[in-house]
Amino acid sequence: MCHCGISTRGPLRADVSDESDGQRTTLSRLSTLLSLANRRSSRATHREPRQLAVDNPFSLTAAARFGALFAVVLLVVKLAQRYSPEQGIYVVAALAGSVDVDAITLSMADAAGGTDGLARATAAIVIAAVANTVVKCGAVLALGAGPVRTQVGVATAALLAASLLALTLM
């Protein structure tokens, strides 16, 4: 028997000790109590859901808009590579990412060639994703209410810190 409370007999069989069984029972009881408390609090604060206007994501207009955005981003990326290869890509990534991450991601995947190009493309995609997240966080801070603003703000700050750390370690 190992020190973790689990003994193995045979290649696919594991017998759980009594100590582990007690822990499992305690966790089961705790999760049941938490789910009951959550159910009770959700009943007390039940609100009618708001109706959201949902557009067809497969519409020709949405596809044409994305195609146009992708073409513009691809053109600007090529221009930045030609006239300002060091910093231009990152500026384009931040600007394009503030609107949509997909176009700059596809453009960078196309532009990445070799080890140096891969590192540059990765950094550009991270910058685009951070710019997109900051714009969305700004929308939540401007339009949201209550604790969601704080939660989104804290999550965005943590993401920014992690992204900055990742970029500096690259």
For 80-105, how does the pLDDT look when each residue is reduced to its tens digit (9 = 90+)?
778 887 788 888 888 888 888 888 88
Q: Which residue has the higher pLDDT, 30 or 151?
A: 151
Query: What is residue 32's predicted lDDT score, i.e. its pLDDT?
Result: 76
Q: Which residue has the higher pLDDT, 49 or 36?
A: 36
Asked whether residue 43 is assigned to any structural domain, the reply reads no
Asked whether residue 127 is assigned to any structural domain, the reply reads yes
Q: Confidence band (pLDDT; 50, 70, 90) for 11?
A: very low
Q: Which 3 state secondary structure label does DSSP give 8?
A: strand
Q: Confidence band (pLDDT; 50, 70, 90) for 167?
A: confident
Asked whether residue 165 is assigned to any structural domain, the reply reads yes
The parent domain of residue 114 ranges over 84-169
Query: What is residue 6's predicted lDDT score, i.e. its pLDDT?
Result: 42
Q: Which 3 state secondary structure label does DSSP give 7?
A: strand
* Contact partners, residue 81, CB within 8 Å, separation at least 6: 88, 89, 111
Total domain count for the chain?
Answer: 1
How do residues 12-34 score in pLDDT, each as one tens digit?
Answer: 444 444 555 655 566 666 677 76
Asked whether residue 91 is assigned to any structural domain, the reply reads yes
CB pairs under 8 A, 24+ apart, for 124-127? 124/89, 124/90, 124/92, 124/93, 125/93, 125/101, 126/163, 126/166, 126/167, 127/90, 127/93, 127/94, 127/97, 127/167
Asked whether residue 41 is assigned to any structural domain, the reply reads no
The mean pLDDT of the chain is 76
* pTM value surpassing 0.75: no
Asked whether residue 28 is assigned to any structural domain, the reply reads no
How do residues 103-124 score in pLDDT, each as one tens digit?
Answer: 888 888 877 776 678 888 889 9
Asked whether residue 54 is assigned to any structural domain, the reply reads no
Count helices and strands (H / E) in the chain: 6, 2
Query: What is residue 79's predicted lDDT score, i.e. its pLDDT?
Result: 83
Q: Confidence band (pLDDT; 50, 70, 90) for 45?
A: low
The answer to whether residue 127 scores a pLDDT higher than 60 is yes
Asked whether residue 19 is assigned to any structural domain, the reply reads no
